[in-house]
Structure 1
Amino acid sequence: MPENTLRFAVAQSTVRQDPTDADGLRASGAEVRRLMQQAADAGARLVHFTEGAICFPSKHIMSELGPDEIGPSDWSKADWTVLQDELDRITKLSRELGIWTVIPSIHQLPTRPHNSVYVVSDQGTVVARYDERMLSTTKLTWMYTPGTEPVTVDVDGYRFGLALGLDVLFPELFTEYDRLDADAVLVSYSTTGSSGNEVAPTQARGFAAANTYWISLAVPANPVAGVESSVIDPTGKVVAEGPADSTPGIAVTDLHRVEVSRIGREFRRRTRERVNA
């Protein structure tokens, strides 16, 4: 493998919506670990999963008034013990495989939890956590506490930014990662069974080209959505995609330094400095 190249895997996996269902949570965790093994076998140094990879809680299931009426979420119903155990198993496997894992889950708080993504190092340690900032009306009103800060993590000389959920629709978050010298942004986005899912990959391609960095878009294995997980290069071109039939699987590609990234970033920095002088 050429110097300054990082082999990378993006996964599309089954997303389940009931955090009270211990068996479902176990099944999700087992699938995540199977895909981690596939990524490691392919030589990947990092594997990136979708929002809800362990669970994407349904507003109907969690509503204290539900399931027919949406109201404040009753998070005491969630099986936090199993959720934590599955995360612990994932961190342990990261160490055994020597692979970095970017895995979304719910982060418990005394109040409403964060919708989060954890970065697990190849030593089996959670080294960073990003909390979704641009929450939907439902998430903000009834379900989660929003995050407040961008997060980056460095792996083998590459700097990765993190984005989650509806963050993918907000250009200012991606401009922020450009200013933080990210080489790539990892976007975890849970699609739905309704129309409009194609907006996320379109936005992601535009942000990759506008900021001249790589973007990984991890989505569920959801045939109804019509969207696959993908890796987008700094020109906005899709260079790897998950299984076209939207079944669980991974896509693997090599991230490398692209001259257009350096030139583009330097140009934007000089222009901003002149305009703001």
Structure 2
Amino acid sequence: MTQNGNFKRRVRARAEKTGESYTAAFSHIRESAPSDPGPQARSVRLAVAQTTPYVDPRSAAELRASGEEMRRLMREAQKARARMIHFPEGATCSPNKRIMSSTGRDPVGPSDWSRFEWTVLREELDATRELARELGLFAVIGSVHQLTEPHRPHNSLYIVSDRGELVTRYDERLLSNTKISFMYTPGSTPVTFEVDGVRFGCSLGMETHFPEIFREYEQLDVDCVLFSTTGATPAFAAEALGHAASNRYWVSFSVLAYPGFMPPSGIAAPSGEWVAQCRADATPSLAIVDVDHNPGEIARPWRRMARAGIYEPHMVNDPRSGGRDTF
């Protein structure tokens, strides 16, 4: 249906441009199709992960374990011919606010970031980057990003290329009350990047509650938003599906594997439906989907037109009604 509709639009556009009849334009485009195929769909095989929660950054053993688990999942993704793997928020470590509190566990106070084993974290990240290079795999990794004192760190997503290079970094912008009060420095800008012609945007934490984040990425022409969080309620999952449907792009939904009534990681199609999900038993696993850029997609251009005021010329303001409905 999409390919056929795209072909008809090309025929009408040629007829309007050249003055030919529809039949003549149809014949010309059909004959030239092998050498003039029009825009081509592009795709990237994406693996979305759910990983074990590690919450104590004082523990070198936990940091090592998280790194080993991520690298194991990366090897699984590569065996499944994935081009990119998407990890949850805090995949390297999601520091517990009570562990980090400088005033004790209750009440929670400002985080003492000197407790973090930063050297071990950097070693694990370096090992993970090196594996990305060996496997030829892009990796999107949830991690705390250290800033110079006295600044608090960012809560971030690292984007590592298939050459093992840091391409860019997304810092969570709309932080929770605890995060902004006691833990992190907020980010300030959206981040996009491309893999094989498919464009991705990044989102973190509780940002699924803010439609403006996802609307902004639609305006930036992304094909997929990579949303990472630590633990998702059913509301988070419902919002991810809604953002996919309303913006007509893919949403990759990556969460830590906490036991209990929480939805698993998964990938939502532009139709607003899950096309793949990880295991629901809160164990580390992957879901894999070919995420595409479809130049024949018609819903997004129409919705942009609808938002641009095309209805205003058709509106009626009848002074006889006095602004009220009448019979």
Spell out the pairing of 1:234-245 with structure 2 (5 A cutoff).
Answer: 234-245=270-281
Q: Structure 1 residues 275, 147: CA separation in 2 closer, same or farther (over 3 Å shift)?
A: farther
Residue 298 of structure 2 aligns to a residue whose secondary structure is helix
Q: Which residue of 2 aligns with 1:94?
A: 132
Give how far 1:259 is off: 6.8
* Amino acid across the alignment from 1:63: S
CA–CA separation in structure 1 for the residues paired with 2:255 and 2:206: 12
Task: Provide, for residues 154-178 of structure 1, a one-character-per-residue CA deviation record: whole Å limited to 9, x for no partner.
Answer: 0011000000001111000000000
Q: Is contact 2:224-2:252 (8 Å) kept?
A: yes
The counterpart of 1:158, out of the listed 198, 209, 222, is 198
SS in 1 for 2:308: helix
Match in the other structure for 2:207: 167
- Uncovered stretches (5+) of structure 2, i.e. residues with no partner: 1-39, 313-327
Structure 2 match to 1:222:
258
Give the superposition deviation at 1:257: 3.8
* Aligned AA (1:5): S
Q: Distance in 1 between matches of 2:279 and 2:227?
A: 18
1:49 aligns with 2:49: no
C-alpha displacement of 1:6 = 1.5
Q: 1:259 to 1:90 in 2, by over 3 A?
A: same
Give the whole-Å Cα distance in 2 for the aligned partners of 1:163 and 1:204.
Answer: 11
Mapping of 1:192-271 within 5 angstroms? Answer: 197-258=233-294, 262-271=297-306
Please report how far the alpha carbon of residue 142 of structure 1 lies from its aligned counterpart in structure 2 after TM superposition: 0.4
Q: How many residues align?
A: 271
Shift in CA distance, 3/182, structure 1 to aligned 2, threshold 3 Å: closer
Task: Kindly indicate whether residue 184 of structure 2 is the aligned counterpart of residue 144 of structure 1.
Answer: yes
Deviates more, 1:262-271 or 1:245-254: 262-271
Residues 254, 68 of structure 1: CA spacing in aligned structure 2 closer, same or farther, 3 A cutoff? same
Aligned amino acid, residue 92 of structure 1: E
Is the 8 Å Cα contact of residues 14 and 248 (structure 1) preserved in structure 2? yes
Aligned to 1:12: 50
Q: Is 1:227–1:246's contact at 8 Å kept on the other side of the alignment?
A: no
Deviations 1:172-230 (Å, cap 9, x if unpaired)?
000000000000000001117xxxx1111100000000000000000112222421000
Alignment-derived partner of residue 105 in structure 2: 67
1:24 to 46, 62, 66: 62
- CA displacement, residues 246-272 of structure 1 (integer Å, 9 cap, x when unaligned): 211101111124578x31221122233
Per-residue CA deviation, residues 93-152 of structure 1 (Å, 9 max, x unaligned), is: 000000000001001112100000000000000101000011000000000000110000
| DSSP 3-state at the match of 1:256 | strand
Counterpart of 1:107?
145
TM-score w.r.t. the length of structure 1 is 0.94
Displacement after TM superposition at 1:3 (Å) = 6.2
Between Structure 1 and Structure 2, whose CA radius of gyration is higher?
2
Of all paired residues, the percent bearing the same amino acid is 50
Does structure 1 retain, via aligned residues, the 8 Å contact 2:47–2:288?
yes
Structure 1 unmatched ranges of 5 or more: none
Preserved CA contact (<8 Å) 2:223 2:292? no
Structure-2 separation of matches of 1:64 and 1:49: 29
SS in 1 for 2:42: coil
Separation (CA, whole Å) in 1 of partners of 2:54 and 2:109: 20
Determine the structure 1 residue equivalent to 2:322.
none
Which position in structure 2 is the counterpart of 1:37?
Answer: 75
Contact 1:65 1:71 in 2 (8 A): yes
1-side partners of 2:125 and 2:98: how far apart?
24
In the alignment, structure 1 residue 85 sits paired with structure 2 residue 120 = no
Alpha-carbon spacing, 1:205–1:29, altered in 2? closer, same or farther (3 Å): same
